[in-house]
Structure formats: structure tokens, C-alpha cells
Amino acid sequence: MDRWERLFAQLEAEQSSEESVDRRATAYEVSQAETRNITLVDRMRGHLGSRLVLTLETGELVDGQLVAVEPEWLLLTISGQRTLIPAQAVVTFRNLSRKPVVQEHSEGSSEMEEDERHSALAALRKRSREWSLEQVLRAIQSDRERIALSAGPIEVLGMIVAVGTDHLDVHTEVERTPHTQAPVVVTVSAARITKIVLL
């Protein structure tokens, strides 16, 4: 090989190396761009029907099967009970897959069909668009469902009687105080709700 051939061979090797670096850089940039566009909801949808472990802002560890997920809430089966958890109450998720499932709207797993006694829950399965947390709370109110609502360290048992944009009123079953044993209406900040169980 003469000097020209060596020179051209060297230039060709450098060009191949640069193209390889460019391909790797482009692949990395594409991967980063895709990651930037993935939402937490998209990642959670990849777990529909699967066990999910999360920590609430109260420090409570929740372990259940993910039934439905929307930007504002998750529905899990925990110890046999369907539990609605506002997304804002969740601090951490354990072992959440990086693979997203992007959908126009989410659909619950087939397990949702097993619980037709709650028409608000049955409606979740049949909807054609996303439901906000406020809409779900109004559906529970209209069905006059008995609930156990957790808001921080407080648990309220009763029925939702009104839903505002940032709060709800729960008619309690029994409020035990030194002055009364009668049911009362408790107003709860929607921002403080950590979970709701239909009883």
C-alpha cells in the first residue's frame, strides 16, 4: 500500500468513525426526545391489570392491582376493595416500567367487569373520553354510594352530598363528639384527599 492509499484508507476510517458517532448521537437525541414526551400516566398504563406499589403523601404504602388510570386519578383493587387515589396524593411508584402505553383514553382491565354493582365504576369502563377527578366524585355522589374517604390522617365515612371544584361535602354516618351523636356534614378539601373506597 503506497502513501496515497494509506492516506485514503485513514480518511475513510475517520469518516466511518464520525458517521458511527453521528448515528449514536442521533439515536441518543431521538431517545431523549421520546423520553421527554412520556407522561407518568403513559407509564402507568403499561401496568394496567398488574400489581403496583406506591407511596402516598401521608407515608402510607399502597399495594394493589391497577384497574384504571387517568391524569388525575388511579383506581386500584387493594385487599379486594376498589380504591380511588387522586394522582396528586401519590409521591412514589415502585418498579414502574419505562415502557409507555400512549392511548387516546384508558380502559380498565377485564377485572372491572366483575364489579358491576357500582354503576359509577361500571361507567368508567364504558366511557369514550378521560374523566377528571371531579367528574368521578360527582358520579359517586349521584349513585349515593357509601364511602370511606381518607384525607391525610383523617378518615370520614358517609356519602358525598356535594362536589365543588376544589372541595366536597360528606354526610357522615356518625360524628362522635362530647356534644352530639348525630350525623354531620364534613367539608373536605379535594387537594387533601389521599384515597376513597366504595363501601
pLDDT tens-digit profile of 21-73?
777 777 777 666 666 778 888 888 888 999 999 999 999 999 999 999 999 99
% of the chain beyond a pLDDT of 90? 39
The pLDDT value recorded for residue 17 is 78
145-160 residues labelled b (16+ CB within 10 A) or e (exposed): bebebbbeeeebebbb
Q: Is 126 left (phi over 0), alpha (psi -120 to 50) or beta?
A: alpha
CB atoms within 10 A of CB 90: 20
Q: What is the dihedral of CA 193, 197, 198, 199, to 10 degrees?
A: -120
167-172: strand order across its sheet:
90-94, 51-56, 61-70, 73-78, 81-86, 193-198, 146-151, 154-163, 167-172, 185-189
- In whole angstroms, what is the distance from residue 115 CA to residue 152 CA? 28
% of the chain beyond a pLDDT of 70? 77
Residue 131 three-state SS: coil
pLDDT, mean of residues 146-175: 88
pLDDT tier at 179, thresholds 50, 70, 90: low
- Helices 133-142 and 119-126: crossing angle in degrees, nearest 10, is 140
- In whole angstroms, what is the distance from residue 43 CA to residue 37 CA? 11
pLDDT exceeds cutoff 90 at 97: no
pLDDT tier at 163, thresholds 50, 70, 90: very high
The pLDDT value recorded for residue 126 is 55
pTM: 0.67
Residue 161 phi, psi dihedral angles, 5° rounding: -110, -15
Q: Report which secondary-structure segment, H or E, holds 32.
A: helix 3-36
Residue 178 three-state SS: coil
Provide the mean pLDDT of the chain: 79
